[in-house]
Amino acid sequence: MSGKKVGKVLKLFISKSGTSKRFDKSSIALDKYGVREDKFYNKDAQRSVLLSSYASYDLVKTYGIEMPFGYLGENILIDYNPYALEIGTHIKIGDTILEISQNCTICNHLAILDVKIPTLLKNDRGIFTKVIKEGEIKIDDAVYIL
């Protein structure tokens, strides 16, 4: 299965129950229930993996706001902006295939850092994906649109 290479993985994160802290990972394992070890694992297959773009962080930075990576709640941060891709589009990262299932809605908790963030990122926070082919994703893995 080939596709168009569009970027690479910059950072990987998981959330753990009982804390709002994000944990950096060098790799994550995914199956049909989402990201293993993540507190949202096996909660909602349509929203099991959050994919965000460096462009979101860059946009906020142009307004003088320093936002730490992981702040958007993403599992995967890439250097390609996928927000204009259609629902149903398949993305290959590592040996995993993800399908865009819906745009990520903005959460008011993002305003904790700065009240402008929810407005700035209204349509640019991230996209939810579901796992089509399970596997592992590592930092620096190439991102392909299939």
Number of domains in the chain: 1
Contact criterion met (CB below 8 Å) for 85 and 129: no
Supply the pLDDT for residue 104: 86
Supply the pLDDT for residue 18: 83
Supply the pLDDT for residue 39: 92
Range(s) of the domain holding residue 9: 4-145
Task: Indicate the pTM of the whole model.
Answer: 0.94
Residue 131's CATH number: 2.40.33.20
Reference 5, options 91, 85, 95; nearest CA is: 91
Written as six digits, the tokens of 93 are 């990262």
pLDDT tens-digit profile, the chain (146 residues): 579 999 999 999 999 988 778 899 999 999 999 999 999 999 988 888 999 999 999 999 999 999 999 999 999 999 999 999 999 999 999 999 999 999 887 777 888 899 999 999 988 899 999 999 999 999 999 999 99
